[in-house]
């Protein structure tokens, strides 16, 4: 497959897979979406053996094209050599009170996708830990540690990006309580002289 064909395939697969996940997950504005990506695996090569910057650019560009119009923020997982630190916008790190760490991603330390994000983000910073609402794992890079509890696996029609096995995670709040607890919204039964507080 030539470069142009692979580019079109990767973009289409990412856009389709993420849109299907979002249709099931219903993320809100300012939620955080994490991606782990092996550009080696996209090429059919073992994880970490042949990172490709051009493919990394395609991946991040395609993700941003889907997420930005929806107001969803992107976090990009780095490789094991930088302790799987994550690249986010500085505004996201501050809003969520994530601790910023000092490292600049490169092709061999951080990976192609994170290096692409460093170039494409407005004000990128690295953080050690996040709790994203959902995510996408391209090439079995292991993103579960970055998605908030309780994680929910989702299936879409796109199970590979290029040749990389691809999985998706969402999340939900924990259920607490016992057999008498209620988990679904109910109508409020208030006396006629009580006015409920307005919600913003």
Confidence of residue 125 (pLDDT cuts 50, 70, 90): very high
What pLDDT sits at residue 120? 98
CB atoms near residue 2 (< 10 Å) = 6
Task: Please give the residue that has the higher pLDDT: either 7 or 175.
Answer: 7
pTM score of the predicted model: 0.89
Residue 199, pLDDT above cutoff 70: no
What pLDDT sits at residue 119? 97
Sign of CA dihedral 137, 50, 62, 4: negative
List 150's β-bridge partners, or say none: none
Which tens digits make up the pLDDT trace of 4-62?
899 999 999 999 999 999 999 989 999 999 999 999 999 999 999 999 999 999 999 99
Q: Which domains occur in the chain, in start order?
A: 3-171 (3.40.50.10360)
What pLDDT sits at residue 84? 96
What lies within 8 Å, CB to CB, of 179 at 6+ separation is none
CB atoms near residue 175 (< 10 Å) = 8
What lies within 8 Å, CB to CB, of 68 at 6+ separation is none
What pLDDT sits at residue 94? 98
Confidence of residue 175 (pLDDT cuts 50, 70, 90): confident
Task: Indicate the burial class of 39 (C-beta count within 10 angstroms; 0-12, 13-18, 19 or more).
Answer: buried
Confidence of residue 179 (pLDDT cuts 50, 70, 90): confident
What pLDDT sits at residue 83? 95
- Tell me, rounded to whole angstroms, the distance of Cα 39 from its chain centroid: 16
Mean of the pLDDT values across residues 105-131? 97
Confidence of residue 200 (pLDDT cuts 50, 70, 90): low
């Amino acid at each position: 497959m030539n470069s142009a064909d692979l580019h079109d395939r990767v973009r289409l697969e990412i856009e389709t897979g993420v849109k299907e996940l979002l249709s099931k997950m219903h993320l809100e504005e300012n939620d955080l979406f994490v991606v782990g990506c092996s550009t080696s695996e996209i090429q059919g090569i073992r994880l970490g053996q042949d990172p490709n910057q051009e493919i990394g650019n395609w991946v991040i560009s395609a993700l941003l094209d889907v997420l930005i119009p929806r107001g969803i923020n992107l976090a990009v997982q780095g490789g094991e050599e930088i302790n799987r630190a994550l690249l986010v916008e500085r505004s996201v790190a501050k809003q969520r009170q994530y601790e910023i760490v000092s490292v600049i991603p490169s092709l061999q330390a951080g990976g192609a996708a994170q290096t692409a994000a460093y170039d494409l983000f407005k004000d990128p910073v690295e953080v050690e830990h996040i709790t994203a609402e959902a995510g996408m794992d391209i090439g079995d890079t292991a993103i579960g540690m970055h998605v908030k509890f309780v994680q929910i696996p989702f299936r879409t029609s796109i199970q590979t990006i290029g040749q990389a096995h691809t999985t998706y995670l969402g999340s939900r709040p924990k259920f607490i309580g016992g057999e008498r607890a209620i988990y679904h919204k109910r109508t409020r039964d208030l006396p006629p002289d009580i006015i409920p507080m307005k919600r913003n």
